[in-house]
């Protein structure tokens, strides 16, 4: 039989199997509804930004919310609306598509069809997609894990073509474009940097294995990196340019702008005798800042006795790290800024310059600018860091970061808000009043109950199997590292496994720092790691199978 015919038939069977699994998943999720709520810094913001995009007004009028977060998710909401695909469905299609790309990369490496179907199902039924509460809201976590998995899938396919010596610059460009989108969805995207470092190293090693000289191999890898960077900058620069055209500032995210980092970083470097965990800029630091920064002093009434204390302290002794940046921006709006972007950023820069000048002249006691966004680390937290890191890793592999079943309540009783959610997302919106909720037809209630029972049974498996499998996977990866040290050639599976593990470790460290300095607890941030954990388990399994098959082949060929 012709090999091309066999390959074509295998691909057809593979796609049919994956399509059936995807249809089952979509059928189980069909009764899902969106819950409209008042969350001005989260889903209400994203719906409002998407509404402005759909109405041809980019991100709307400039205020303290406009550039507070990346525009990657509002653009996705608007794009789904243009395609007439309900947001709940489009998010699930994106995730299933990312699963398919990842498994397609496995298929290219001659993995058996049955294992490919299992791999796709394992990724597809990841419980964060149905038992994780923000999925009921238009929330960034609805797409962020999918885009993360898509990056790994594209990298895997790129490696395959590189090993085969085939042209793959378009894939590199696409990888860069996806990374650019990834970077503009959430702020902690730096966690993927160690993974990209591992991938770059493997790419270089593969060219060395093909007999290319060391300098030439590094040169080829560098040129490949430039293509990825070009794709990344295409997206990143385009968003910054549109913001410049609309608001006059060449930035993608106001929280990461040089001016905001200058002001906030200046406040963070002020040294005080008294400090408290989770309070990055306490009252003592603000009092010092008022004396050396005329610009910041304009915010004193807001922070100490006005709207700030009424809105953002919320029973705390001072402004928590989770709220202070929002309070800071709200305070600037309260005194007349955040109407004109250039004027606002000039004012923010003046705060940073005035504090830095006081630090340099020794008027006040200051720390170096270690970070412009992360609260100061104290030596007392060193022992806590290890414990928190271990607990974070344990929560990752135990799949316990999501909140089971989601919210039970209805939408907020605000007709304008509900209408915006309905027409922008194109998805069914849960009724907003108790009397409407009681009128839900019995067949629909039964449908939800029966499918929820199935999904909870599936989630029960994920709560138990991955944590055991992860331990074996670490052992398997350690064994592969030993084999590689003994001279075994590193494979695509090995590179992917080490890269995924590096990403998980990096994300765990970031979440550990957040839990110690800024948040007393985390939950929703963990959901990005769940598909990565599953991809890691599949990759290590494939690496072990691949190494065994190669060993068997060598054994059979020897006399």
Residue 554 has a pLDDT of 45
> What is this structure's pTM?
0.92
Does residue 205 belong to any structural domain of this protein?
A: no
With respect to residue 271, please indicate whether it lies within any of the assigned structural domains: yes
407 and 277, same structural domain? no
pLDDT for residue 398 is more than 90: no
- Same domain? 410 vs 339: no
Lowest mean pLDDT, pick from 122-136, 319-333, 450-464: 122-136
| pLDDT-derived band at 436, boundaries 50, 70, 90 | confident
407 burial via Cβ count (<10 Å: 0-12, 13-18, 19+): middle
Do the domain assignments include residue 542? yes
Which of 439, 462, 485 is the last residue before a domain boundary? 462
Q: What is the mean pLDDT of residues 11-34?
A: 92
- Selection from 209, 3, 195, 204 nearest residue 110 by Cα: 3
Q: Are residues 279 and 416 in the same domain?
A: no
How many whole angstroms separate alpha carbon 210 and alpha carbon 215?
13
Across 80-89, 108-117, 209-218, 252-261, least confident range: 209-218
447 and 386 in one domain? no
In a domain, 201, yes or no: no
On the question of pLDDT at 552 being above 60, the answer is no
Please tell me the predicted confidence (pLDDT) of residue 1: 42
Q: How many CB atoms lie within 10 A of CB 422?
A: 16
In a domain, 228, yes or no: no
Question: How many other β-carbons are positioned within 10 Å of the β-carbon of residue 385?
Answer: 15
pLDDT score at 211 = 66
pLDDT of 7 strictly over 70: no
My answer on whether 272 and 408 are in the same domain is no
What pLDDT does residue 548 have?
A: 61
Q: Are residues 453 and 491 in the same domain?
A: no
Task: Tell me, yes or no, whether 385 and 366 share the same domain.
Answer: no
**Residue-wise pLDDT tens digits, 166-202:** 888 999 999 999 999 999 999 888 999 999 999 999 8
Q: Using a pLDDT cut of 70, give the percent of the chain over it.
A: 93
**What does the pLDDT look like over 525-545, one tens digit per residue?**
788 899 999 999 999 988 887
Residue 81: its pLDDT value, please?
97
| Residue 494 clears pLDDT 60, i.e. is over it | yes
How far is it, in rounded angstroms, from Cα 104 to Cα 361?
Answer: 60
Structure tokens given for 496? 């992917």
Q: Domains in the chain: how many in total?
A: 3
Q: Which domain holds residue 394?
A: 381-398+464-559
- Sign, Cα dihedral of 369, 375, 376, 379: negative
Rounded CA-CA distance 66/254 in Å is 8
Helix, coil or strand: residue 404 = coil
pLDDT of the residue at 3: 46
Output the pLDDT for position 371: 79
Among 410, 429, 462, the domain boundary falls at 462
- Of 438 and 401, the structure prediction assigns the larger pLDDT to 438
- 357/456 same-domain check: no
- What pLDDT score does 444 carry? 83
Q: What are phi and psi of 279, to 5 degrees?
A: -120, 95
- Note whether residue 443 is domain-resident: yes
Whether the pLDDT of residue 133 is over 50: the answer is: yes
Q: Terminal CA-to-CA distance of the chain, rounded, Å?
A: 30
Q: Given 414, 446, 462, which residue is the final one in a domain?
A: 462
418 shares a domain with 508: no
Residue 103 lies in a domain: yes
Residue 422 in any domain: the answer is: yes
Residue 440: pLDDT band by 50, 70, 90 thresholds? confident
Residues 392 and 405 in one domain: no
pLDDT of residue 410: 79
- Write out pLDDT tens, residues 136-146: 788 898 899 99
- pLDDT at 408 exceeding the cut of 60: no
Q: Is 310 helix (H, G, I), strand (E, B) or coil?
A: helix
332 & 409 share domain:
no
Q: Judge whether residue 424 has pLDDT over 60.
A: yes
For residues 408 and 393, state if they share a domain.
no
Residue 432 has pLDDT above 90, yes or no: no
Q: What would the pLDDT profile of 233-280 be if each residue is shown by its tens digit?
A: 999 999 999 999 999 999 999 999 999 999 999 999 999 999 889 999
Say whether 374 sits in a helix, a strand or coil.
Answer: coil
Least confident of 7-11, 177-181, 330-334, 518-522: 7-11
């Amino acid at each position: 039989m012709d090999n091309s015919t066999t390959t074509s038939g295998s691909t057809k069977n593979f796609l049919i199997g994956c399509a059936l699994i995807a249809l089952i998943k979509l059928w189980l999720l069909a009764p899902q509804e969106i819950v409209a709520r008042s969350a001005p810094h989260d889903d209400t913001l994203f719906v409002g930004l998407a509404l402005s995009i759909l109405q041809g007004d980019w991100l709307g009028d400039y205020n303290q919310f406009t550039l507070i977060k990346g525009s990657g998710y509002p653009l996705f909401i608007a794009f789904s609306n243009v395609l007439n695909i309900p947001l709940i469905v489009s998010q699930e299609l994106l995730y299933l598509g990312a699963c398919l790309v990842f498994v397609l990369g496995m298929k290219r490496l001659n993995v058996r069809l049955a294992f490919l179907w299992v791999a796709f199902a394992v990724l597809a039924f990841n419980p964060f997609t149905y038992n994780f509460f923000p999925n009921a809201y238009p929330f960034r976590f609805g797409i962020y894990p999918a885009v993360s998995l898509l990056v790994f899938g594209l990298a895997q396919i790129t490696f395959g073509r590189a090993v085969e010596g085939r042209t793959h610059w378009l894939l590199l460009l696409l990888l860069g474009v996806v990374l650019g989108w990834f970077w503009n969805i959430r702020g902690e995207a730096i966690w993927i940097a160690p993974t990209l470092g591992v991938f770059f190293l493997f790419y270089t090693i593969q060219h060395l294995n093909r007999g290319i000289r060391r300098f030439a191999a590094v040169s080829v890898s560098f040129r490949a990196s430039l293509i990825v960077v070009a794709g990344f900058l295409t997206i990143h620069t385009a968003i910054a340019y549109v913001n410049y055209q609309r608001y006059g500032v060449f930035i993608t995210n106001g929280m990461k702008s040089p001016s905001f980092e200058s002001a906030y970083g200046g406040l963070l470097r002020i040294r005080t005798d008294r400090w408290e965990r989770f309070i990055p800029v306490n009252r003592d630091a603000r009092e010092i800042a008022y004396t050396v920064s005329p610009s910041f002093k304009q915010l004193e009434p807001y922070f100490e006795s006005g709207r700030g204390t009424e809105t953002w302290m919320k029973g705390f002794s001072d402004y928590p790290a989770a709220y202070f940046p929002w309070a800071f921006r709200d305070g600037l709006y309260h005194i007349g800024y955040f109407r004109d972007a250039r004027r606002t950023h000039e004012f923010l820069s003046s705060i940073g310059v005035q504090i830095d000048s006081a630090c340099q002249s020794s008027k006040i006691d200051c720390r170096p600018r270690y970070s412009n966004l992360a609260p100061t680390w104290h030596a007392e937290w060193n022992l806590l860091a290890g414990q928190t890191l271990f607990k974070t890793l344990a929560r990752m592999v135990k799949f316990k970061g999501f909140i089971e079943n989601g919210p039970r309540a209805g939408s907020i009783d605000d007709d304008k808000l509900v209408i915006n959610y309905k027409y922008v997302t194109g998805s069914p919106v849960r009724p907003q009043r108790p009397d409407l909720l009681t009128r839900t037809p019995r067949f629909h209630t039964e449908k939800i109950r029966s499918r929820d029972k199935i999904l909870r049974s599936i989630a029960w498996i994920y709560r138990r199997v991955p944590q055991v499998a992860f331990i074996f996977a670490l052992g398997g990866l350690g064994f592969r590292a030993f084999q590689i040290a003994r001279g075994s050639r590193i494979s695509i599976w090995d590179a992917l496994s080490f890269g995924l593990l590096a990403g998980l470790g990096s994300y765990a460290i970031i979440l550990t720092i957040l839990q110690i300095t800024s948040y007393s607890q985390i939950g929703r941030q963990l959901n990005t790691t769940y598909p990565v954990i599953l991809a890691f388990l599949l990759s290590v399994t494939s690496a072990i199978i691949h190494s065994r098959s190669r060993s068997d082949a060598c054994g059979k060929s020897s006399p």
